[in-house]
Amino acid sequence: MQIGCHGSVWTGRFDDDGLRDAIERTAAAGFDLIEIPLMDTGLADPAVVRGRAEAAGLAVTASLGLSEDTDISSEHADVHAAGVARLLDCVEFLAEAGGTHLVGVIYCAMGKYTAPARELNWQRSADGIARVAQRGQELGVRVGLEVVNRYESNMLNTGRQASEFVDRVREHAGTDNVDVHLDTYHMNIEEPDMFFPVLDAGDRLGYVHIGESHRGYLGSGTVDFDSFFRALGRLGYDGPVVFESFSSVVVHPQMSSMLAIWRNLWSDGDDLAAHANRFIRGRLAAVGSIAEH
Ligand code: MN
């Protein structure tokens, strides 16, 4: 199992300098993996990222949220096509950077919709993700569909919805490299509890974000991490587990407005990340000790 950290703990600028700093500090905090936000794919050189991550001993994954202009669930053919092109660029970038998982709100735009998704939107999204998954399959990249709260998507708000959609997309794509991606911050808003959705996702669960209810220090909010980590243990989950936190101290202009990052919840990213690394490993060790006896 790889324990990782989201790049936004370190920087809001994902060019070569920003990523060098993020990679070094992720490794220093004790993590195995860095998740790179691909808001600006053009700013960094994937070969440089690959070399630095390898030197630091870190695995690489990447995430993004699509925008209104690149919404693959759109009924407008040009917007759908722009979204597919954007995601295919991201798959190529990630593969060149030595990465293994492309995740996030990549099945629709990340933001508040004013109407529910219609069947045409689901169809368009499934078509787009299938194409990305097929390219990912060729490059050794898995695709994770992140379940988020109602203010950030009108499609996948629960693990159950995501499981159904993942089955549909896997069949459509003819590949099995499409997974459910659960995030404790979003689950805490939408799911009935933190245990059963993990078991319900079952072997479709391929990626996990660990975030607190206010996205700050783990253990300082209302997320029921005990139940969540017990469920991971019961399931025997062994994919990436990635800490995600945002503060107005470290700001990517696009992301902060999309995710509503207005408050300063911490100012020392190094302390925050080292704490999260201990917190996650401690919980996993505890549930692991039960599973073995
Ligand atoms: Mn997340």
Mean pLDDT of 214-237: 96
Of the chain, the end-to-end C-alpha distance in Å amounts to: 20
Q: Is 98 left (phi over 0), alpha (psi -120 to 50) or beta?
A: left
Q: According to the model, what pLDDT value does residue 292 have? A: 66
Q: Is 48 helix (H, G, I), strand (E, B) or coil?
A: helix
Q: According to the model, what pLDDT value does residue 287 have? A: 93
Confidence class for position 113, pLDDT limits 50, 70, 90 = very high
Q: Could you read off the pLDDT of 189-205 as tens digits, one per residue?
A: 999 999 999 999 999 99
Q: Please give the distance, rounded to the nearest whole angstrom, from the Cα atom of residue 216 to the centre of ligand 1.
A: 13
Q: Which residues are catalytic?
A: 146, 244
pLDDT > 90? residue 264: no
Q: According to the model, what pLDDT value does residue 245 have? A: 92
Q: According to the model, what pLDDT value does residue 204 have? A: 98
Q: According to the model, what pLDDT value does residue 7 have? A: 93
DSSP code per residue over 117-138: PPHHHHHHHHHHHHHHHHHHHH
Q: Please give the distance, rounded to the nearest whole angstrom, from the Cα atom of residue 258 to the centre of ligand 1.
A: 12
Q: According to the model, what pLDDT value does residue 43 have? A: 81
Q: Please give the distance, rounded to the nearest whole angstrom, from the Cα atom of residue 178 to the centre of ligand 1.
A: 17
pLDDT > 70? residue 121: yes
Contact criterion met (CB below 8 Å) for 269 and 9: yes
Q: What's the whole-model pTM score?
A: 0.96
Q: Please give the distance, rounded to the nearest whole angstrom, from the Cα atom of residue 209 to the centre of ligand 1.
A: 5
pLDDT > 80? residue 50: yes
pLDDT > 70? residue 241: yes
Q: Could you read off the pLDDT of 135-159 as tens digits, one per residue?
A: 999 999 999 999 999 999 999 999 9
pLDDT > 70? residue 217: yes
Backbone angles phi, psi at 249, to 5 degrees: -65, -40
Q: Is 128 left (phi over 0), alpha (psi -120 to 50) or beta?
A: alpha
Q: According to the model, what pLDDT value does residue 40 have? A: 73
Q: According to the model, what pLDDT value does residue 260 have? A: 81
Count of helix runs (H) and strand runs (E) in the chain: 10, 8
Query: What is the overall mean pLDDT for the chain?
Result: 95
Q: What is the 3-state secondary structure (H, E, C) of the chain?
A: CCEEEEHHHCCCCCCHHHHHHHHHHHHHCCCCEEEEECCCHHHCCHHHHHHHHHHHCCEEEEEEEECHHHCCCCCCHHHHHHHHHHHHHHHHHHHHCCCCEEEEEEEEECCCCCCCCCHHHHHHHHHHHHHHHHHHHHHCCEEEEECCCCCCCCCCCCHHHHHHHHHHHHHHHCCCCEEEEEEHHHHHHHCCCCCHHHHHHHHHEEEEEECCCCCCCCCCCCCCHHHHHHHHHHHCCCCCEEECCCECCECCHHHHHHHCCCCCCCCCHHHHHHHHHHHHHHHHHHHHHHHCC
Which single residue is written with the structure tokens 């030595």? Answer: 98
Q: Please give the distance, rounded to the nearest whole angstrom, from the Cα atom of residue 186 to the centre of ligand 1.
A: 8
Q: Please give the distance, rounded to the nearest whole angstrom, from the Cα atom of residue 243 to the centre of ligand 1.
A: 9
- Please tell me the least confidently modeled range out of 24-33, 58-67, 105-114, 254-263: 254-263
Q: Which residue type is seen at 173?
A: A
CB atoms within 10 A of CB 213: 14
Confidence class for position 261, pLDDT limits 50, 70, 90 = confident
Q: Please give the distance, rounded to the nearest whole angstrom, from the Cα atom of residue 158 to the centre of ligand 1.
A: 13
Q: According to the model, what pLDDT value does residue 293 have? A: 60
Confidence class for position 257, pLDDT limits 50, 70, 90 = confident
Mean pLDDT of 79-98: 97
Q: Please give the distance, rounded to the nearest whole angstrom, from the Cα atom of residue 293 to the centre of ligand 1.
A: 32
